[in-house]
């Protein structure tokens, strides 16, 4: 896969992730800073590293399943390798400027 195609698929994945909202905060998981890495390999496998706002999030499984479902449904993606991490732990500094504005932090 050439670099332009890879970038196009990764950009599409980012847009898909912006359609998934944290159940407790009215901001999408991308702008919340919960997505640490998006990388698509030559086999069209999306490798995504993400975190949650809290390790004991009661909706964690639902959120992970929604990410898997929507990313695999993205054009150019054959499968997903999703890694959930808490290192580094999420904090408010990871919010995008759009999320900070929406939540009243700017």
H or E, element range at 47: strand 45-50
Prediction pTM value: 0.92
* pLDDT score, position 91: 92
Q: What letter would DSSP give residue 21?
A: B
* pLDDT score, position 26: 86
C-alpha pair distances (Å), 33 with each of 90, 101, 105: 8, 14, 15
The yes/no answer on whether domain 3-100 falls in CATH 3.30.300.130 is yes
Given a contact cutoff of 8 angstroms between Cβ atoms, the answer to whether 51 and 15 are in contact is no
Dihedral pair phi/psi, residue 3, rounded to 5°: -60, -35
pLDDT tens readout for residues 2-38: 999 999 999 999 999 999 998 888 899 999 999 999 9
Dihedral pair phi/psi, residue 28, rounded to 5°: -70, 155
């Amino acid at each position: 896969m050439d670099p332009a195609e890879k970038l196009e698929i990764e950009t599409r994945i980012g847009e898909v992730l912006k359609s998934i909202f944290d159940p407790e905060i009215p901001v999408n998981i991308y702008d919340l800073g919960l997505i640490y890495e998006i990388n698509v390999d030559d086999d069209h496998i999306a490798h995504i590293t993400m975190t949650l706002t809290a390790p004991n999030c009661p909706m964690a499984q639902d959120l992970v399943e929604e990410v898997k479902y929507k990313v695999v449904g993205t054009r150019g993606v054959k499968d997903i390798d999703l890694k959930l991490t808490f290192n580094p732990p999420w904090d408010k500094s990871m919010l995008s400027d759009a999320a900070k504005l929406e939540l009243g932090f700017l």
